[in-house]
Amino acid sequence: MSIEGVHLLEHLQTPAMMVSRGQVRFANSAAKALLGVHIVGQDVRIAIREPRAVAAILSENGGSAKVKGLSTGGSVWEVDCKVAGPHERIVSLYDLSERVSVAKSHADFVANASHELRTPLANVIGYVETLMNPKAGGDEALRGRFLGTIRHEAQRMQALISDLMSLSRIEALKHEAPHDSIDMVALAHEVAGEFRDGTQVSVRANCAAAVIAGDRGQMSQVLRNLIDNSRKYARPGGPVEVSVEAASTGWVLVSVRDEGEGIKPEHLPRVTERFYRADTSRSRAAGGTGLGLSIVKHIVERHRGRFDIESRPAVGTTASLMLPLKPAE
């Protein structure tokens, strides 16, 4: 290979090697960082210990192969070999890990969403078929009970579809920074005032106003989701407190706290995952979709903020978001 060709390979960010007569004659910096500096001068079968990749490199016409674990245990790479001469090959390595991970996440998401919809849909079909039986359908008390169940399951599906659409809209906008001026103190009072069913939702603030650049609809959704969660899992009649604290550092801390049963430590790292439930039966009975905290996390990230949950069993849970204050004009 010419000196110019070697110089060109060295400036590539993609790991690349020149293999001659089965030996690695040259590897650029990216390839050395990936496979180690010792690969230069090694037999390619030792440098890349993957039979399919080696077969593609040593074949007469070159080729490509996907291999796993070149960088980390779960990584996926494509090894692409081009013929440069009678005994020379140019080998490039492309990291497909992120693409494979995204594809898997999408597949898992569709599978989970389908599973979540399948159960209530099966219940609805089962109860409708029972009501179509003249004996069951003619019993007014039974009919009323079954119709109530059908209504509950239909509402469950409706809530899930609504949250799925909401999550889709949030992801579509995640790279667009919101710019409306929102007073988080006023918004906290407004959203807390929506809950008038006996649960005590109080708001306290250390300032008269805390203005951020944001999307009002999305921030309302965040507060509504967090307050609703606290109401569901707080002890009966227990308080739910929303606090807004502006700091001189240019950030505002918004917290929603309850005095409920709390969340076990092993669940905390996963509660913002889609469809993850720390208490499956209780969440579904309360009408939860398993998407609420995932929606909150995505919205807070779009607002360039941070979201965190602290909880102690039998003491309570505090969900907090740190958001940058809007600079004074």
Please indicate, yes or no, whether residues 153 and 294 belong to a single structural domain of this protein: no
Please indicate, yes or no, whether residues 85 and 227 belong to a single structural domain of this protein: no
The pLDDT value recorded for residue 204 is: 95
Any idea what the CATH number is for the domain that residue 128 is in? 1.10.287.130
The pLDDT value recorded for residue 5 is: 54
Please indicate, yes or no, whether residues 89 and 152 belong to a single structural domain of this protein: no
Banded pLDDT at 215 (limits 50, 70, 90): very high
Please indicate, yes or no, whether residues 296 and 326 belong to a single structural domain of this protein: yes
Average pLDDT rounded to a whole number, residues 75-90: 86
Please indicate, yes or no, whether residues 308 and 181 belong to a single structural domain of this protein: yes
* Higher per-residue pLDDT: 103 or 208: 208
Residue 6 has pLDDT above 70, yes or no: no
Please indicate, yes or no, whether residues 186 and 69 belong to a single structural domain of this protein: no
Any idea what the CATH number is for the domain that residue 266 is in? 3.30.565.10
Please indicate, yes or no, whether residues 127 and 263 belong to a single structural domain of this protein: no
Residue finishing a domain among 44, 70, 95 = 95
Please indicate, yes or no, whether residues 188 and 278 belong to a single structural domain of this protein: yes
Residue finishing a domain among 35, 67, 95 = 95
Number of domains in the chain: 3
Please indicate, yes or no, whether residues 233 and 149 belong to a single structural domain of this protein: no
Cβ(179)–Cβ(213) under 8 Å?
yes
Q: Which of 42-46, 212-216, 272-276 has the highest mean pLDDT?
A: 212-216
Average pLDDT rounded to a whole number, residues 221-248: 88
Please indicate, yes or no, whether residues 328 and 238 belong to a single structural domain of this protein: yes
pLDDT tens for each residue of 240-252: 999 999 998 999 9
Banded pLDDT at 194 (limits 50, 70, 90): confident
Q: Global pTM?
A: 0.60
Residue finishing a domain among 48, 67, 95 = 95
Q: What are phi and psi of 4, to 5 degrees?
A: -65, -40
Note the helical H segments in 21-96.
29-35, 44-47, 51-58
Banded pLDDT at 107 (limits 50, 70, 90): low
**% of the chain with per-residue pLDDT over 90:** 24
Q: Which of 61, 78, 82 is nearest to 5 (CA)?
A: 82
- Domain membership of residue 305 as a residue range: 176-329
